[in-house]
Amino acid sequence: MRYNFCVILEKQKRVDMYISTLFEDFSRSYVQKLIDWGKVQVNGKTCKKNIKIAHKDELSIEVIRESYDIKPENIPLDIVYEDRDMMIINKNAGINVHPVPGEWWNSATLVNAILYHCSEELPCISGQERPGIVHRLDKDTSGLIMIAKNDITMRRLSDILKERKIEKYYIAIVYGKLKQTDIEIESYIGRDKNDRKKMTVDDPVNPKIACTKAHVIDYMDNKYTILRVKLETGRTHQIRVHLASIWFPILGDSVYGNKKANTEAKTLYQLKRQALHAYSLEFELYGNTKRFEWPLKSDMMRMIGDIPLNPLTKEEIKQRGEAEF
């Protein structure tokens, strides 16, 4: 696949750094390989990795997916649901969903575990390194993730994901006492031009609109807020970036969080990762409505204790015609 861009930059930047910022899945080493293979052109000419590009330069990139020898590995899976078309897995925190192009590792990921569980060949939509993966969760986010087991289901789930017809809800514990019961955050999100591993709402590279809604469930110790979060869009690090942008970062988030609060939570609650759990998925597939909800992992549950988690607001319960719970 070939991509063509008109460069937008305030000042000159190395071409490999610029490309690795544009593509969230490409490490800088992988981009440098593409350049070495002659797959990157600037203003119609094949370039070297150390050249600098400027505003309004024309950039052309031919993406070649690296061949991965991903081996099945006997890693336990918490399977919530499975049929001939798909699986719903409750992912543990601390495990990557798939290998990353250009990185040295291709082991101990969710993909390795899925390949061991499923003997048949799984479909891909984003290269050989992601068999069955429809959407992703960050390494240190736990919760529900969809896996497609055939090409037809992969295409269908990918389509309804793009059409925003999959409702995804999360439970998050944030630092600070959020007084508004309901909030909506809408902004552009893109790569941080100074740190390609981070996303930002402040003058981002290759920005895309993102919308996050949150409802306050309860408070902890008069200084933490438990939120039910709904993703209206699906940008990289979206919930983490949006909540941090309004000064209510997710507790335990090592990238966007409050270091002092994180240290305190680690001491008091033994929280060793960001307090974010994908607890609910709802969508229609082949004419049937599917809804999955799954409890928090033990580390977040230990923090919340006896506080009841009422995922739906009273208005939503009334609309669904369900009894309040």
- Judge whether 225 and 219 are in contact, CB under 8 Å: yes
Query: Among 253, 227, 223, 228, which residue's Cα sits nearest to residue 241?
Result: 253
| Cα 61 to chain centroid, rounded | 25
Under 8 Å between Cβ of 186 and 153: no
Catalytic annotation present for 221: no
Task: Tell how strand 276-285 and strand 142-148 pair up.
Answer: parallel
What is d(CA 61, CA 184) in angstroms, rounded to the nearest whole number?
36
**Which one is catalytic: 16, 57, 138, 253?**
138
How far is 293 from 238, CA to CA, in rounded Å?
21
The backbone torsions φ and ψ at residue 302, rounded to the nearest 5 degrees and listed phi first, read -60, -35
Decide: 289 and 282 in contact? Cβ < 8 Å.
yes
Beta bridge partners of 143: 91, 278
Q: Is the dihedral of CA 125, 131, 137, 138 positive or negative?
A: negative
Which two three-digit tokens encode residue 152?
């037809």
CA distance linking residue 240 with residue 29, whole number of Å: 26
What are the residue numbers of the active site?
138
